[in-house]
């Protein structure tokens, strides 16, 4: 496990975390970042336990 002071990305002093809600905007942003080969160190998502069933399938 890496600690918060370790550089996870090859780019200088940056840590690239993406927040994914599962909605259209955050999904599109993540897909665009992947397509453009942008650095992503971590994808965060918070399960409220109240999502629609289709969101869990997604």
Q: Does the predicted model carry a pTM greater than 0.85?
A: no
Per-residue confidence (pLDDT) for residue 11, from 0 to 100: 55
List per-residue pLDDT tens for the chain, 58 residues long.
455 555 555 556 788 999 998 889 999 999 999 999 999 999 998 888 888 888 778 7
Positive or negative: CA dihedral 17, 23, 25, 27: positive
- Cα separation, 7 vs 15, in Å, equals 7
Residue with tokens 């069933």: 53
């Amino acid at each position: 496990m890496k600690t918060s002071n370790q550089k996870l990305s090859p780019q200088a002093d940056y840590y690239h975390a993406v927040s994914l809600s599962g909605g259209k905007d955050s999904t599109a942003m993540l897909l665009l970042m992947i397509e453009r080969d942008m650095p992503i160190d971590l994808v965060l998502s918070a399960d409220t336990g109240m999502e629609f069933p289709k969101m869990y399938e997604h």
